[in-house]
Amino acid sequence: MSGTSRRRDQRDAESPTAPDSTTRDRVFCCGDEVLVQRKDGNFYLGTVVEVNLVQEKCLVKFDDNTDHWSAFKHLAKLNKVDNVMCVICKKSQTKKDNEVVVCDRCSRGYHQLCHQPIIEVGVDCWECQRCQTTPPKPLRAMRKQAPAPPPPLSVVPQEQTKNKLPYDMDNLVWDTHHRVNSDNKYCYCGLPGDWYMKMLQCGRCKQWFHEHCIRCLHYPLYLGDPFYVFVCNLCNNGKEFIRRLEMKWVDLMHLVLFNLTVYKAKKFHEIDADILQYVNNNWNTLQLPPKIQNVNSEDRKSILLSVLANNLSRFKCGEEVKQKRTCWGLRVRIPPYAPNFSLPKVRPINDAVLKDSWMQQNRLKFLPPSLSVLVSSKCEVNSTPEHLTARSPTEPPPGIKLLQIQDCPPVFLPKGLPATGHKVCIKSSFPCFPESREQIQRRIRAQGLKFQRIRHFRAQKARKLLKNAIATTSQKICQELPLTHLLTCGSYCIF
């Protein structure tokens, strides 16, 4: 027998009992309250109902009558307070007739003799004098119903647009083109805006309205898109009216290049990668007339190229600035030209009234609502183009700085003159008032003096030019004649 086995037998003989699983310390006992840590990381309170010392785990029962086996390492025993201190004498010592009793309501300890009245022996359920005299706090009443949901986030409530505007239209001072006012108040909401940034102008009051404030829109607005007939609900008996005007190919090309310039911040765009792709992606939402809408995607490129080449007054080829011949851009980076139209005085405006008024005007045609319904089924209402999904709503497009839009300053009127009831000179952007006879005579005299000075200056300049011409001619003649002829004609040469 080896030495190691001999020593092991000696130790076994010396020990009073052989090692067995039952000799291990009982860490947990039945009835212990423990905290069990589960896989979610939380601790749950339970009671030990069975202990397995061999596998070192306990069966824990919870308050919902469910049980679960947990290892010792996942259990934490709650510390029991053996000595409860009296809250009056601040001592925890007990005697036979003076034990510490715990209140079943507030869990505070009292000696039997310290508490007034004295606590009787053998009371199962006991409450201290403090809990008996203090009334219980009323619980907060439970809500019978959930609160109403907040109203949807909208700049203009529906009720506000039907009553009146939050500002006075007569006090607004506009520029000559009626696009910008001095107070920077527009739309039903009275918030600022730019007329070319998805806004429509009412055909009657000439006020501008935001895209998200117009209720009758079924298609997304494009930047600088003026091809609409729009009447606000204040001018149309509480009901908005909007129709799409028919566009030509040149107007479509102008609108597409303007939007590409603003969103991509580039002056020139490739015909295949940029222009044609943008047109195909937005073909259903552009609300084109049937003769353009029915064109196949294969024929669009040739038509667009011919439109670009035949309208060089609007469009500019990249070859002019040493770029690719397939790159095109706007010659002047401004929105398309707005069509001029006038609305009839009949109210409210509808399709029949507008058709009768424009019957003799072949240049103005609008899409019927039946065609709009067919096109709207292919696109989402108020959908956002693809290039706007990655940008926050408050961030302006990067190509705004490339635009060449120069708005005229608002026309400020003299103090005391109303904003309406006068004529405005479009050329000078200043109001024209009737002049007195003295002012007219003074202006005529000033013009006469100005013209007299101009005539005198022109005559003086003509005499000087004639004198210089004669001197130059005489010098050339003297240089060309022989010496003998110069001696005979010296007087002429000297002159």
pLDDT (0 to 100) of residue 360:
64
172 or 158, higher pLDDT = 172
70/283 Cα distance (integer angstroms): 66
Q: Do residues 53 and 26 touch, judged by C-beta distance below 8 A?
A: yes
Dihedral angle at the C-alpha atoms of 187, 192, 197, 202, nearest 10 degrees?
20
Q: Do residues 189 and 156 touch, judged by C-beta distance below 8 A?
A: yes
Residue 334, Ramachandran bin (φ over 0: left; ψ between -120 and 50: alpha; else beta): beta
320/312 Cα distance (integer angstroms): 11
The domain locations on the chain are 21-77, 82-130, 246-338+368-402, 437-494
Q: Which CATH class is domain 82-130?
A: alpha beta
Q: Is pLDDT above 70 for 246?
A: yes
Angle between helices 249-264 and 297-310 (to 10 degrees): 90
**What is the pLDDT confidence band of residue 439, given thresholds at 50, 70 and 90?**
confident
Q: Is pLDDT above 90 for 153?
A: no
Q: Do residues 180 and 196 touch, judged by C-beta distance below 8 A?
A: no
CB atoms inside a 10 Å sphere around CB 150: 6
466 or 5, higher pLDDT = 466
Residue 237, Ramachandran bin (φ over 0: left; ψ between -120 and 50: alpha; else beta): left
CA distances, 479 to each of 259, 272, 467, 474, 482 (Å): 69, 69, 19, 9, 8
CA distances, 351 to each of 244, 330, 342, 356, 359 (Å): 12, 35, 14, 9, 12
pLDDT (0 to 100) of residue 260:
92
Q: What is the pLDDT of the chain when averaged over all its residues? A: 76
Dihedral angle at the C-alpha atoms of 449, 454, 459, 460, nearest 10 degrees?
100
Q: Which CATH class is domain 21-77?
A: mainly beta
Q: Do residues 318 and 270 touch, judged by C-beta distance below 8 A?
A: no
Task: For residue 148, give the amino acid letter.
Answer: A
Over residues 88-136, the pLDDT tens digits come to 888 878 887 888 888 887 878 888 888 888 888 777 788 888 888 877 6
Q: Is pLDDT above 50 for 357?
A: yes
Q: Residues 13-20: what's their mean pLDDT? A: 42
How many residues are recorded in the chain? Answer: 495
